[in-house]
Chain A
Amino acid sequence: MITGAAVALVGGVAAVLSVEYGWIRGGGRVGPGFVPGVSASIMAAYGTAITVCGVVRSAADEDPGTDGAAPAGPLPDEADPRERPRDLGSTLQVLGLMLAAIYAMQWLGFLISFSILSFLLVGVVDREGWIRAAAYAVAVGVTTWIVFDVTLGVPLPPGTLLR
């Protein structure tokens, strides 16, 4: 229901923005706002449908008198939710560390910031021991450098501190 509303909101905002790009140009031809506008409107329409179906289903679930007989056929929203996360904290840790590593990349460069990321993921998030974490981080850094920088010639960002 919430995700449906989010989809509808993003689609709605994008559709409104597309109007200023111009849907139709001179001679009735397609303008630069046409495809963004139509696709965003479709997104908003389906997002709204998903939200409405979710609301109707919630109402039916709460009302025992209806005997669950609200709209027949499969409902589009939250039809098969996955089991609740066992460890949302770990996900947030991984996500936070990943974003921090990407942010640090501008100063430390790709190799160092992502080696530190590997070290923290193995050592802190998964508590595999500092020595293993350090060995793992070095292995990731060296392998990445050999494969991308040395062999394939893909220049890895060095970072301003080390330039």
Chain B
Amino acid sequence: MTKVPKVCPDFAEGIGYLGQLISNAAELKADLALRHTLPSTDGLLDGISGIAGGVGQNYSIGTPSMSSNVGASMPGRHDSLMIARGLLVCFDSAVQWIDGSFSTLQFSSNAGQYFLPISGWSNYWAEVTPLVDVSDETTIRIAVATAQPGRIMVQTFQLGTRGYAGATGNFFNPWPFDFHIAVYGSNAPANPFVEPSRLESGDTDNATRLPAVQQQDQDDETKFV
């Protein structure tokens, strides 16, 4: 990206920066699209098509690139395997808050078992944090999230004595309690946990770089007011 002074000292100089502003916009758009969703842009390719040559202009931007993230349904939101696709807070055996594209959390009839429907993602997993009970801070809890076809199963366990005659000692027993869960996922059509599919840096989509414009606008027909 070409550095352009934030304060334009001279109008003619500012006109000269216009080409760099065009180039920077295209470059920033490509950068932004790497890890963020962008809305449809009327099918235009980075907004720089069809301007090489012509009367009164001398811009040469290079080959336009199309981001694979353009046209996504959640414009401006992040789109990366490194960032959770959604987050859910479950308090008091009820979903208190959801961010992301989850539908809802389903409560199983089995104690401490929950299902989070997942659609549209090929690979996903979840991180879950057990929350300590305000009324009993000494309880020891484990929460586990398991990816299953079309859903994530959450199971919550609390340390205690196994509940039938003859059992002694401590066991982690299924037990409902509050938790936070974040779901990570990729839309890539790969089979998780089977084929290694490490991405190399050059594999990242829309990584095509756009050269900065070097020439200044020298259009004689521009009117200055």
Q: Do A and B associate with each other?
A: no
Interface residues of B (CB under 8 A from A): none
